[in-house]
Structure 1
Amino acid sequence: MKFGKSIRTRLIIGFMGVMLPVVVYMLINNSYSREIVREKVSETYRNTLDIFVGQTDHNLAQINDYLYKMSVLDSDVGLLMSFPMDSDGYTLTKIRIDAKLNRDVGVYNLIDAVFLYHHNDIIFGTNSVYNDTKNIIKSHMDNMTTAENLAHNDQQTWEVRADDRMPGKYFLINFIKVSEELYVGAIIKVKDINTMLSIQWSDGDIGHNGIYLREDNRLVQALTESLSPLDLNDEILKEPYESLTDHETGADYLVMNRMSERVNIAYQVVIPEETLLRNLLFFRNVTLFAPIGFLAILLLYLFFMRNMLFKPLHELILGMKKISLGMLDVRLKKNKSLEFEFLGNTFNIMAEQIKTLKIDVYEEQLRVKQGELKQLQAQINPHFYMNSLNIIYNLAALNDTETVKKMSLHLADYFRFIMKANRDTITLKEELTHIENYITIQKIRFPDKLQCTFEGMDTILNYPIAALTIQPFVENSIIHGFKNRRQLFQIHIRAEMTEDNGFALTISDNGVGFSPEVLKKLQNKEPLQHEEKSSLGIMNVIHRLDLLYGERTSITFGNHSEGSGAIVTIVFPKPLEGGRAVV
């Protein structure tokens, strides 16, 4: 049945044809809503960032004014260099300036340090480690107050510097010249500015932020630890915002950049669109789960159609397949639908008619098969009979009357079994008792030269087998394998369970084994030649096993090694409870 032509496929396609436009409409509506919300919320965030950048630049400008007023209007700063550095006047003036600087550091919360720098002395107030701050001011001001750097100094613009002794490494510094060798300046940690920026976005709750060193419109260096999940470009965005996607997670983000007018830095904010659309969470979830809801409806629809249409059709098709495979006992159950009830009744009547016809044919074939099996069993009896007469003749020739008496009893049991062997099956125990009688007769013929042992038979003694299935192999071992009469001839019969709960029966001896020609023919199931008719019993067993069990059994032939004993293995199918076989 082609997939596109099945009723189930066409019903599913029809259902999807109705539901798909609804889902598409909801997706388009949700997308439009997302765009509107993104635009409005991003506008609010842009305004917040603009206000922060503007306020920070305003604070930098105020600090510049403060430095300028200190350099021009503060009397102590103006008098400081009029005293010799080792004088009391210089010391007292320095103490007053130090007190003012430490006070002003607390007033301007953005400032980390305010200082007066002279190449021989530094006066400063700071919120950080005293010695580290002093060393930072000393090393950087020594460099920035060289003649070459002073020529490029702009008192209105702050400079970005890096120093591993500074928390966060990067800081802003600016200074104003008071006199030839005296400068007043301030230091601001970039980390503190970023902390204030983080407060605006709850740092990871609403979004991620960072501060970057810039050259014109390019970002050249991150001044703070990057918290953004995106690998951002070094180009400052020209648009108010830009939407970017994380290729690893597939999450969408809104990115905004703003440049400072007082220092060569840029502020950057990255906001997950999930935050932007938080207010649309319910509608977004409805849109996302709508296809799942439609799928659930489709499953319920298919379940209803399954019970009403698909299941009866499937049972009807399956019943037809089983009938075609010869399983004539299959019958369809009653259905509530009138149409399928009619089809089921018609099918059952047809199946019953086919079964009746096939049983008649099968019974006729079975009668033919049973007749053939009994004929094969009968072929063995003359073979045993001739051997028995030969043994009696040899004993009579020796005038061994006691042994003849003993032999007669065993022969009576032996031939009593032969006369009952026309039954379809006997138990394995009966077959083994028959083999023991046969071995005893042969031991009388060959005293102290013959031994037969059994192993692993306890659990399978009630297993039903065809009569004279094992005995011909024991007889064949003695006739063909017992050539060296000087040593003890041993026959070992062993049973082992197989993986499919059947068992394998192995008959082995220590005789000369099969000749290469005979072994090859037995392995290939080829008929034996006229001169090999002593092996008639073996071919008879092979044929009977095939008739009784078919492919569920197997028989293999081999030798231990060249000239060292034959091995025959028969695999019987799984026995059922009570010892019955699967036949």
Structure 2
Amino acid sequence: MQQQVFAGLRSKSIYPKILIVFMLVVAPLCVLSLVVNAKGESAVKQEIDKSIGSKTAYFVDSLETEANRMYEHQQGFNLDKDLQRLVYVDSTLGRFEWGETIKRLQEKMEIIKTSSKYIDTVSVQMLTLGKAISNEDPYNSLDREAVDAFMSQYKEKGTSIINVNGRLLLGYVNPVAILAQKKPDYIIFIQLSVPELRKAMAQFANYPHSGAVLADAERKWTIATGADKELLAAMNRFADERSGTDGPGETETLKVGGTTYLMSYQYSTAIHMKLLVCVPEKEVLGDLDSYRIWFWVLALLSMLIIAVFSTWIYRLIHKPLNKLVFAFRKVEDGYLEPTVLPTGQDEFRYLFEGFNSMVVKLKELIHKLYEQEIRVKSSELKQLQSQINPHFLYNTYFILHRLAKMDDIENVILFSQYLGEYFQFITRNGAAEIPLEDEVKHGRLYVEIQQIRFSNRIDVEFDELPEGCRQVMVPKLILQPILENAYKYGMERKKDDGLITVKIRQDDAAIRISVEDNGAGMTDEELGKLQSQLGLQLEGGEITGLRNVHRRLQLQFGKDSGLRLHHGSEGGLRVDVTIRDKAGQAANEPDNNA
């Protein structure tokens, strides 16, 4: 029983409700935090993307600025008088004047070199003389390979930066000579410092495993830094997919070898160069990823704390509540004893004290009501029985009077014998309950008495009592009033062929006795009215007949027992007696007489 109570409590436990309430309170905060974190992460990522793009754009702008400055230096140097004198009047210069001119030119070229960290050397290729001069070498042979490469590319593309065996040369030539289809007299070359360019690229691609690529529009030359071969190949493919007219776009993602990179692209239309910067996303967003992980750890920890807190609240409330409910269940089962008070001084102790007080008072009240009900039931049963006995006595004296008046001595003797046995049954045992076997035997005796009255006008068919029903205790005189009712109202006007059948059968939970006559019967309205009157409790007055039997059966066996009235199959009235054997006295025998 206790296990059933606990199982019922668990099935209706408030723990899931407590947990759900806490979850519903915390869940919006977690969702809001997640949304805020996601928006913050997105904003930070956009800022990082912008930062990488800005660095890329700044580097390209700085290269354009440096290239323009170099170009301006070349333009100014192109008009230098010493350069003009050396190129056009070299043969007329004296040895000292020639040397001074060379020295001044080298000084000017050194000034150009120091104007930018991206300049490695400055040289002039004097095609008319077949000689070259640089800031490092006062007089050298002509760099024919560089001159031919520059002239070829300048005529085709109009660009000035060429790659000659790994050297990046920014060349300048008098455009008038090119436009006039003439061979130029000299070309001014500025050789860019590849190490300085690579060093500058490495400064804004300073994340581990990041890389940068600087290349011309046709990718005839490339400067790469900090990237492995696989990443460099992917970056070159990315650069090839972008046309030279594409401007800077948003930072894109590129996945290489299972690693995701942030790719920033910038193209310079002024110097016809592409710049790509590639940074591992986890290196840039590493902190954001850790924040996301910490957020989920915090969320899971919050859920765990909520579960533990809910469990604690549940135990704090459920333990005394469970004990109190179990005490109520014991009261429902009739165990009216106080329960042990909890040790705490909280509200539950007050409830338990109130419960114990209620149980004590309820126990006293039930005891008083029980005793009173027993006394009332005992007095009512005795009253009902005392009302039946005189009723039958009236009828028997009338019959005996009639037989004596008719001088029917034989029937007077037989009838007197039956009456003796009848009153012996009534007076011998003053108990309110008798075995059903004795009640049926008394019913048969009553039928024999009535047969003397009605002679051969009425036949009675009486079933044998099933063996398992014989010792079932029933109120005294429950069958006689029904038989008396059949004789009085069903058979009294019957001149001949009267029939009363008494059937007794038994099932698993009840004993059923059916008394049916073939008399005049009743209308539906009369039958319904009589059935409804059976259960009425009249204040005062005499309670006799069918209502008497119905009332006593219900008092002893419960409301499912008693009488039910029906139309008989032969046109008369059928009275069904139901005895619910609550004590389990009826045996589970098959119904042989139904």
TM-score, normalising length from structure 2?
0.44
TM-score, normalising length from structure 1?
0.44
